Structure 1
């Protein structure tokens, strides 16, 4: 790694950026330590007046600061102070990472490319860890747990002869070995495919190696059985195919098409994925009212969105306060009917979650954080695909309420925007 050579005066800062990227799919503590190291290194050197001028001129970062300011304001009227402070701590990267990128030295194109590729390699390492531990569990006769009692019963009725192999190597059971939620890890992996499909390779050998990685990742996405992530992959893949065709890169568009076909082929083999992606949604009655008691992972979304929207209607402009959702949603679930008492589900939609907690202005700030720079001319396809991936995942998950989602967005959004702005 040339960026660690003694001739590089910024090697420690580069090392900190690299650690922040590669530790993201691993345990939160490792990523937290890396973020703290990067922040400490960013405090050294530089003229204070010059740094303040840089912050003032970096307009792309203002929505991040405004959004975090809204969280601070929300602390003045939240009913859940303790969780509010916890949220402020989790979302501090909305302020810290843009500041580090603005006041620090420019990251060149080669180093940003290295960061993205090493994110792919790190996620691949997590894949092999999950496969290894799942194999050990399968051989030792462990009991896989992917569904609640009702969903498990439906799965067994539809697939009475399915091998237990699939339950060991699918969905929650597979991702839990790395301490990851399947939806979050699938989001990472779809972004990894975007990186692999848009990077420039210097040799045939390098291109072949990364093609092999893309096939491994496609297989694992199919095994993780995350519905929305598979849909997101299809959307982002179609977008990249169109961009490749427009650029007359037919070989690249064909590679992406092969990846889509491979994923579809694998979905037909895995009964857990078929159940999650096709059979369960088809069996679901898309009704959420007080007469319903047989909820599943699809109908729960309707319930969660209904409860969230009801709260928003009473707190349209300012929300219920930072992290005040738990008390409000607990009240909704406890009064709905006997089957929902004790549920602790959040909105499972980041846009509704933001609106419910901090009001319409915070939602606007959050939307600008995501989409504010995507419509500029000459934007890289990899960046548009990144925004597409994250924003679509926000529709069915409160993706910005866990560190794995918060840091993923703020880290790569900062790298994309800070690098692009400094390069102009």
Structure 2
């Protein structure tokens, strides 16, 4: 029979795992509390349930390698105060690998049932956030109709509810992860429950269309193609993907948009890049040009984690002063790491992705593979690891699935 310490440790661990899965519902200034709580509960659980095996330091080293390189770069950053603010934001890159390394070494590990529960907690929390915020805007904005709420929803989530602001691109990424979780769960569920999955999938695709953010949408499209190829174009998979794609395309075509602007048109509007230098695509090209120019001036070790903003601002002043108005970062995680830590840091980061892709294939963890691919594709247009909205849910789920991927792991007892 488990003693009181075991019961308490199990309860606290389960509680904080659930809160971290639903962290989108936690107010912004309190988001660090669930991370710290999970770390402390994992340490307590480790003390109570420690096994005789050695800690899996290899996975831990790989998981934290690029964070440690970023940490070292603070030593040659001139703007150390800004560097330490970024460090505070990125601490989950160290905390979550430590949490799941400790749990990996326990006698009783996380079982598939609990991991499936955590995925559903994320999906349900995201559903609650989407429906409740949309309803709130519709009911409280004095001059908004249902149509105008749809049109302005992407701006409202970023500005309207103090304490729960989230950039629409990052909300779109959350939706993309929710879609991946639902599709993964569909392959392991009974036919009678498929309707619930399909309803939530349609809901998520509709909100993805409302937000209308190109990066997350394109990333999902690429993953859909790869999923079909890896499934060897099975009839069932093809029917589901085709039906959901049709729903999404129709929603994108007919849903009302701000000033009726089709943001995807910018991608092929070459003439528009010249006539409208302040378009989203034109601004990104200017940012990438600055990042490239500055990177080649310090290619080996970069400028340090705290100095990237200042280095970019110097270039923006000459390249396009309009970029200074909104404090733009590189809008590309790989370029940001290159500027921060040079070729050395970028090589470590790319190795991290290579190792995790290889690991997911070896252990037949398709969900980890597609999550990595999804985040990697979004990193081509966003600095996911430098915003709290991105880094926490990236690090939590990647490490959750990474440390629980091996085929021959012991399962945690029903107590958890």
Per the TM superposition, whether the score is higher than 0.5 is yes
Q: Is 1:36 the equivalent of 2:36? A: yes
Give the whole-Å Cα distance in 2 for the aligned partners of 1:311 and 1:245: 44
Q: Secondary structure at the match of 1:374?
A: helix
| Alignment RMSD (CA, Å) | 2.8
**Counterpart position of 1:374:** 357
Which piece of structure 1 moves more, 108-117 or 30-39? 30-39
Give the whole-Å Cα distance in 2 for the aligned partners of 1:373 and 1:82: 32
TM-aligned CA distance change 1:45 to 1:128, over 3 Å: closer
1:335–1:341 Cα contact (<8 Å) kept: no
2:157–2:165 Cα contact (<8 Å) kept: no
**Counterpart position of 2:88:** 89
TM-aligned CA distance change 1:253 to 1:143, over 3 Å: closer
TM-aligned CA distance change 1:174 to 1:71, over 3 Å: closer
**Counterpart position of 1:234:** 221
Compute the displacement of 1:30 (Å).
4.0
Compute the displacement of 1:324 (Å).
0.9
1:245–1:253 Cα contact (<8 Å) kept: no
Compute the displacement of 1:227 (Å).
0.9
Give the whole-Å Cα distance in 2 for the aligned partners of 1:137 and 1:121: 24
1:334–1:342 Cα contact (<8 Å) kept: no
**Counterpart position of 1:351:** 334
Compute the displacement of 1:256 (Å).
2.2
**Counterpart position of 1:191:** 177
Give the whole-Å Cα distance in 2 for the aligned partners of 1:121 and 1:238: 26
Compute the displacement of 1:45 (Å).
5.4
1:159-190 Cα shifts (integer Å, max 9, x gaps)? xxxx7454234x32355445111111111111
1:347-396 Cα shifts (integer Å, max 9, x gaps)? 00000001101122221222233331213334222222111110010001
1:293–1:339 Cα contact (<8 Å) kept: no
**Counterpart position of 1:112:** 115
Q: Secondary structure at the match of 1:355?
A: helix
Where in structure 1 are there 5+ consecutive unaligned residues? Answer: 1-5, 145-162
Compute the displacement of 1:77 (Å).
1.2
TM-aligned CA distance change 1:328 to 1:9, over 3 Å: closer
TM-aligned CA distance change 1:361 to 1:95, over 3 Å: same
2:286–2:320 Cα contact (<8 Å) kept: no
TM-score, scaled to structure 1: 0.84
Which piece of structure 1 moves more, 192-201 or 394-403? 192-201
2:175–2:208 Cα contact (<8 Å) kept: yes
1:213-270 Cα shifts (integer Å, max 9, x gaps)? 1110010000011011111111112222333446x4x324312221111100101013
**Counterpart position of 1:148:** none
Which piece of structure 1 moves more, 275-284 or 347-356? 275-284
**Counterpart position of 2:143:** 141
2:333–2:380 Cα contact (<8 Å) kept: yes
How many equivalent pairs are there? 392
1:77–1:321 Cα contact (<8 Å) kept: yes
Give the whole-Å Cα distance in 1 for the aligned partners of 2:343 and 2:314: 22
Give the whole-Å Cα distance in 2 for the aligned partners of 1:74 and 1:14: 36
**Counterpart position of 1:77:** 76
TM-score, scaled to structure 2: 0.85
Give the whole-Å Cα distance in 2 for the aligned partners of 1:116 and 1:214: 14
Give the whole-Å Cα distance in 1 for the aligned partners of 2:321 and 2:69: 36
Q: Secondary structure at the match of 2:356?
A: coil
**Counterpart position of 1:22:** 22
TM-aligned CA distance change 1:264 to 1:100, over 3 Å: same
1:60–1:373 Cα contact (<8 Å) kept: no
TM-aligned CA distance change 1:109 to 1:209, over 3 Å: same
Give the whole-Å Cα distance in 2 for the aligned partners of 1:301 and 1:387: 24
**Counterpart position of 1:419:** 404
2:126–2:174 Cα contact (<8 Å) kept: yes
Q: Is 1:219 the equivalent of 2:222? A: no
Which piece of structure 1 moves more, 213-222 or 396-405? 396-405
2:291–2:312 Cα contact (<8 Å) kept: yes
1:317-365 Cα shifts (integer Å, max 9, x gaps)? 1111112111111111122355445452110000000110112222122
Q: Secondary structure at the match of 1:420?
A: coil
Q: Is 1:384 the equivalent of 2:384? A: no
Give the whole-Å Cα distance in 1 for the aligned partners of 2:78 and 2:406: 40
Give the whole-Å Cα distance in 2 for the aligned partners of 1:317 and 1:371: 21
Give the whole-Å Cα distance in 2 for the aligned partners of 1:29 and 1:332: 33
Give the whole-Å Cα distance in 2 for the aligned partners of 1:27 and 1:271: 30
Where in structure 2 are there 5+ consecutive unaligned residues? Answer: 1-5, 410-416
1:241–1:257 Cα contact (<8 Å) kept: no
1:215–1:259 Cα contact (<8 Å) kept: yes
Spell out the pairing of 1:206-355 with structure 2 (5 A cutoff): 206-245=193-232, 248=234, 250-272=235-257, 275-283=261-269, 285=271, 294-355=277-338
2:290–2:319 Cα contact (<8 Å) kept: no
Give the whole-Å Cα distance in 2 for the aligned partners of 1:240 and 1:293: 37
Give the whole-Å Cα distance in 2 for the aligned partners of 1:243 and 1:338: 46
Give the whole-Å Cα distance in 2 for the aligned partners of 1:165 and 1:38: 37
